Amino acid sequence: MRHGKSLRGPEFTTDLERPLAERGRRDAPRVAKLMQQQGVAPELIVSSSAARALATARLVQDELGDVELREEPAIYSNSTLDLLGVINNLPADAQRVLLVGHNPSMEELVDELTGRDDTVLKTCSVAVLDVGAGSWEDVAPGSVKLKALVHPRELEE
């Protein structure tokens, strides 16, 4: 999941502290509700340490209820190699995991894992991926299937 729409401006000293905009606060619970309705709600959320990503993750967590949330600073690096490392080290007992991060690395990760080259993740969009029956350690480029792309603007109010 790409984090929700965020604010920009000189009042934010660093990129890490940029908060969610109203649209981001509205979209995250809507997308979480759809994940729950579609049976793909995560049991673990792993988020970038940036304020806008953590706020998105917490809104998803609040909507879904009993879901563990972990902060992972490596997601902020915007490196697909770092993101793959996060995935490869996920706990074996987690069946469904939501990563909350940033572009361009989230789009690049989906493309690399699925063999695509055209993924577009707008703010608060989710790519639903099927990693198959193997372990998280086995996830590698080209080994994953894209099941769905969900963009919040496509959801009914």
Q: How far apart are CA 135 and CA 114, in angstroms?
A: 17
What integer pLDDT is reported at residue 115 of this predicted model?
96
Residue 123 within any structural domain of the chain: yes
Q: How far apart are CA 60 and CA 23, in angstroms?
A: 14
User: pLDDT tens, 45-83?
Assistant: 999 999 999 999 999 999 999 999 999 999 999 899 999
What integer pLDDT is reported at residue 133 of this predicted model?
74
Query: Can you tell me whether residue 149 is helix, strand or coil?
Result: strand
What integer pLDDT is reported at residue 153 of this predicted model?
84
User: pLDDT tens, 83-132?
Assistant: 999 999 999 999 999 999 999 999 999 999 999 999 999 999 999 999 98
Q: Would you say residue 5 has pLDDT above 80?
A: yes
- Supply the range of the domain harboring residue 119: 15-154
Mean pLDDT of 23-51: 96
**Nearest-CA neighbor of 18 among 29, 9, 30, 27?**
9
What integer pLDDT is reported at residue 41 of this predicted model?
96
Residue 4 within any structural domain of the chain: no
Sign of the alpha-carbon dihedral angle for 39, 156, 152, 48: negative
According to DSSP, the β-strands at 126-130 and 145-150 are antiparallel
Residue 6 within any structural domain of the chain: no
Residue 3 within any structural domain of the chain: no
Residue 8 within any structural domain of the chain: no
Residue 70 within any structural domain of the chain: yes
What integer pLDDT is reported at residue 156 of this predicted model?
63
What integer pLDDT is reported at residue 53 of this predicted model?
98
pLDDT tier for residue 11 given thresholds of 50, 70 and 90? confident
**How many structural domains does the chain have?**
1
Q: What is the CATH number of the domain that holds 92?
A: 3.40.50.1240
- The model's pTM: 0.95
Q: CB count, 10 Å around CB of 141?
A: 13
Taking a C-beta distance cutoff of 8 angstroms, is the pair 77, 16 a contact?
no
Residue 9 within any structural domain of the chain: no
Residue 62 within any structural domain of the chain: yes
Sign of the alpha-carbon dihedral angle for 34, 40, 44, 45: negative
Q: Is the peptide bond before 152 cis (omega within 30 degrees of 0)?
A: no
